[in-house]
Structure 1
Amino acid sequence: MILEMRTYQIQAGKAPEFLKIYQANGLHIITRYARLIGCWTKESGVLNSVVFLWAYDDFAHRSAQRTKMAQDAEWVAFVPTILPYLVHQESVFLNPVGFSPIQ
């Protein structure tokens, strides 16, 4: 398994609105393609940030799923609704070590 830690820096004060829109209109779409492990807001570091942790079988699975999602008309229509909230986006890929509770 590979985990993708995707961090969105949101315009100051807009994280609650972003999360409401994401949950209501986007979450049911993206979870067709990736397994949500968790979602958090940050209280330290770069503030006004939302962190998602997504699971895939491996990097090839992630690439294939992202390709499918990019062709999903519902997802394509959703993305422009969240773009105005974003300041910065970052993806970090995490591979579990042998003793990690999440494999």
Structure 2
Amino acid sequence: MIFEMRTYQLKVGVLQRYMEQFGRVGLPIVERYCRLVGYWSLDSGRLNRVVHIWAFESLEHRDECRRRWWADPEWVEGYIPLALPLVESQESVIMSAAPFSPIR
């Protein structure tokens, strides 16, 4: 099992709008292709950020899920035009769980 942690830096003042849009429109689409482990907004440190973690069986599984997800017109034509204007930058980190991790 691998995990992808994605961090999005949002424009100032749009956090609540971004979270609402993702929960209502984006998440139902993404969940067709991958499993959400957790989703957070940051209240300290660098603000106006969201962090989410997704689980995949392998890197190949991640690649296949993302290929199918990005071929979905509801995502590309429906959600991306809503979200893109709210995002300043994004970061992706691929992680493997330690053998003793409670989440594996």
Using the TM superposition, give the Cα deviation of residue 36 of structure 1 relative to its aligned residue in structure 2, in angstroms: 0.5
Q: C-alpha distance in 2, partners of 1:15/1:36?
A: 19
Within the alignment, does 1:8 sit opposite 2:8 as a pair? yes
Correspondence 1:40-79 to 2 at 5 A: 40-77=40-77, 78-79=79-80
Q: Which amino acid aligns with 1:21?
A: Q
Deviations, residues 57-77 of structure 1 (Å, cap 9, x unaligned)? 111100000000111111111
Using the TM superposition, give the Cα deviation of residue 80 of structure 1 relative to its aligned residue in structure 2, in angstroms: 1.4
User: TM-score, normalization: structure 2?
Assistant: 0.95
Using the TM superposition, give the Cα deviation of residue 43 of structure 1 relative to its aligned residue in structure 2, in angstroms: 2.0
Unaligned runs of 5+ in 2: none
Match of 1:84 in 2: 85
Match of 1:94 in 2: 95
User: TM-score, normalization: structure 1?
Assistant: 0.96
Deviates more, 1:43-52 or 1:85-94: 43-52
* SS of alignment partner, residue 98 of structure 2: coil
Instruction: Give the root-mean-square deviation of aligned CA atoms.
Output: 0.8
Q: C-alpha distance in 2, partners of 1:95/1:87?
A: 27
Q: Which amino acid aligns with 2:87?
A: L
Q: Which amino acid aligns with 1:8?
A: Y
Query: Number of aligned pairs?
Result: 103
Within the alignment, does 1:20 sit opposite 2:17 as a pair? no
Using the TM superposition, give the Cα deviation of residue 30 of structure 1 relative to its aligned residue in structure 2, in angstroms: 0.2
